[in-house]
Chains A and B, each alone.
Chain A
Amino acid sequence: MNGWESLHFIGPALTLLIGAIVVLLVDLITDRRAATAGLTLLVLALTATYATVHVVLGTSGEALYGAVVIDRFGLYFAFLLIAITAAVVLTSFEGLDRISQAGEFYALLLTSCASMIVLAQANELITIFVALETTSIAQFVLAGLGRDDRSAEAGLKYLLTGAISAAVLLYGFAFLFGLAGTTSLAGIAHYVGTGPEGARLALTMAFVLIAAGLGFKMAIVPFHAWVPDVYQGAPTLVTTFLSAASKAAGFAIALRIFYTGLGGGDTFISQDWAMMFAVCAALSMTFGNLAAITQTDVKRLLGYSSIAQAGNIAVGLAAVASGSTLGPSAVLFFLGAYTATNLGAFICVIVVSKRIGSDDIRDYAGLLRRSPGVALVLALCLLSLTGIPPTAGFLAKVYIFNAAIQTGHAWLVGLVIVAVLNTAISAYYYLRWARTMVLDEPADATAFHPTLALGSLLAAMALAVLFFGLNPTWLIEAARRAAETLI
């Protein structure tokens, strides 16, 4: 399974990388932004087609000497990441807000998307590290691509925290490698499966360091410090991309390492790391929600809300039971629902920010009268973020809490109680925002409308949120089958 056939296995990612180079070249020839943006969309469509071919053919197995694996798990994330990138590119037709280098912006988006797809496919520590760093470096540049000082500052802060967390992650990898004597996840799983009781302390240290390094990508407490600053300082388009794609990739690789590499719920250390994630989940939810209450800047508010949501997703990481993939499949479903919801909310923020020139929550007063469509979509997304039926966010929460309760551990039931209490706290600030839009008097009642492209994108997100809320069978089935390939 080497040579050309291996390249076929990482075909979607390669298509994106070649596309990124072509986009850069075309940008040299023409100054028309619509051309590069259209080309980027074409590349994404080709990649989606390639990934579909893999699904139809049912390709599975290892390639490149076991460095990458192609399975439903990787393909699930490939589709998720392509959808996110495509949504960001479509949004960019509205205007690149503070970004002047269009060609670089699109090329970096594609590079980042490509390396995240490889990350979801990675089956070995070196590949994981290289893919993770390629993703990160592309995103550092994206965050600093804005024309103003604040964007450069966001880029620098993101880079410094990213570099530190990479070093911590690598230190964990070094111990894992030293213990297992191999970098392949299957080899590590085999080693952990033999139950080396004497190495328990070293293994614990390794997975705590690895979780700390990945916690930066997932944005869970206590590795969240960069989130509000970067979300506010980076251009909103980039923030949209980071909040959805970077988080999804972080959880993807965490699932891969802890389920494929550390053996999921069947080993002697599984309860240890489950408990570690439970603590992180409880801290993330509580901290994120409490900090979000006092925010007046919508991008900062969504930043803290994304920390709280990461806590909700981490409940699924903590829901570990022997031979069960309920936890991972709940994480996958939640990520799908969260992506649609979060993209919807951010695109609304971009539209409003462009028209009224402000990110202050008070300026959203009376939005329902000024732009009914945008206000309704935003309100729907806020309901979904809170977790109120009939939205996708509600089902995602039910599904993930159910996974935790099904394991039968008392401390996981306790975690679910904390999570439900947190949902109540989050309802306060999400619904206050919705109330401001619906009930308050606008200071300036001029009506405005989004462009056709953005309007249809918003409609699509709203439909997705409602569709997965009313008829989740298809997505749940996809998530379940993807999670089953993990072990």
Chain B
Amino acid sequence: MIPLEYYLVLSGILFALGFYGVLARRSAILILIAVELMLAAVSLNFVAFASYMDAELFTGVIFAIFVITIAAAEVGLALGIVLRIFRERRSANVDEASSLKW
């Protein structure tokens, strides 16, 4: 059986990659994909913990399902807003969405 640490390291790497993507990408779509990567890391963590702690304990798996469901809702909404901004500006880059600035 693969040790638990392997899963944790993999999810740590995924989370870090996602976070890097959030900081480095300019397109709102790519930022959303990076956030999805972070959420995938979280789900992996939950499922790994759940299966190593107790076979009877489904809490972690259920948590992962909730994470996936809510992430989908969030992405749907985000794409709606991005579409609206795109129609007006022909661009989905967040650094061009800068009419609000100090």
B100 lies within 8 A of A153 (CB):
yes
> Which of these, B45, B70, B89, B101, contacts A178 with CB under 8 Å?
B45
A265→B102 CA distance, assembly (Å): 40
A447→B95 CA distance, assembly (Å): 42
A160→B94 CA distance, assembly (Å): 10
A150 lies within 8 A of B99 (CB):
yes
For A166, the chain B residues whose CB sits under 8 A away are 70, 74
A353→B19 CA distance, assembly (Å): 39
A144→B31 CA distance, assembly (Å): 18
Number of chain B residues whose Cβ lies closer than 8 Å to a Cβ of chain A: 42
B64: nearest chain-A partner, CB-CB: A174
Give A146-185 as 1s and 0s: 1 = Cβ < 8 Å from B's Cβ atoms: 0001101111110110011011101101110110011100
Q: Which of A261-315 contact B (CB under 8 A)?
A: 291, 294-295, 300
Is A228's CB within 8 Å of the partner chain B?
Answer: yes
Pick out which of these stretches binds chain B: A4-12, A40-48, A123-131, A191-199. Answer: A123-131
A183 lies within 8 A of B63 (CB):
yes
> Which of these, B11, B31, B53, contacts A181 with CB under 8 Å?
B53
For A126, the chain B residues whose CB sits under 8 A away are 59, 62-63, 66
For B41, the chain A residues whose CB sits under 8 A away are 171
Is A232's CB within 8 Å of the partner chain B?
Answer: yes
A168→B66 CA distance, assembly (Å): 16
For A229, the chain B residues whose CB sits under 8 A away are 100-101
A177 lies within 8 A of B49 (CB):
yes
Given that A126-B62, A163-B32, A171-B41 are contacting pairs, would A156 and B85 also be in contact in the complex, using a CB cutoff of 8 Å? yes
A-B contacts at CB below 8 angstroms, number:
116
A226→B54 CA distance, assembly (Å): 41
A159 lies within 8 A of B66 (CB):
no
Is A141's CB within 8 Å of the partner chain B?
Answer: yes
B49 lies within 8 A of A160 (CB):
no
Is A399's CB within 8 Å of the partner chain B?
Answer: no
Is A133's CB within 8 Å of the partner chain B?
Answer: yes
Given that A126-B63, A164-B22 are contacting pairs, would A177 and B46 also be in contact in the complex, using a CB cutoff of 8 Å? yes
A152→B100 CA distance, assembly (Å): 11
A159 lies within 8 A of B78 (CB):
yes
Is A137's CB within 8 Å of the partner chain B?
Answer: yes
A156→B15 CA distance, assembly (Å): 22
For A167, the chain B residues whose CB sits under 8 A away are 15, 18, 35, 38-39, 42
Closest approach, in angstroms, between the C-beta of B25 and any C-beta of chain A? 10
For A156, the chain B residues whose CB sits under 8 A away are 28, 78, 81-82, 85, 94, 97
For B57, the chain A residues whose CB sits under 8 A away are 181
For B88, the chain A residues whose CB sits under 8 A away are 149, 152
Is B67's CB within 8 Å of the partner chain A?
Answer: yes
Is A259's CB within 8 Å of the partner chain B?
Answer: no
Give B27-60 as 1s and 0s: 1 = Cβ < 8 Å from A's Cβ atoms: 0100110010011011001100100011001011
A155→B81 CA distance, assembly (Å): 7
Closest approach, in angstroms, between the C-beta of B55 and any C-beta of chain A? 13
Q: Told that A126-B63, A149-B85 touch, could you supply 18 new A-B pairs with CB distance under 8 A?
A: A126-B59, A137-B77, A140-B77, A149-B88, A154-B100, A156-B78, A156-B97, A159-B81, A160-B28, A160-B94, A163-B32, A167-B38, A167-B42, A171-B41, A173-B42, A175-B45, A177-B59, A178-B53
7 contacts between A and B (CB under 8 A): A137-B73, A140-B81, A156-B78, A156-B81, A160-B28, A228-B102, A233-B100
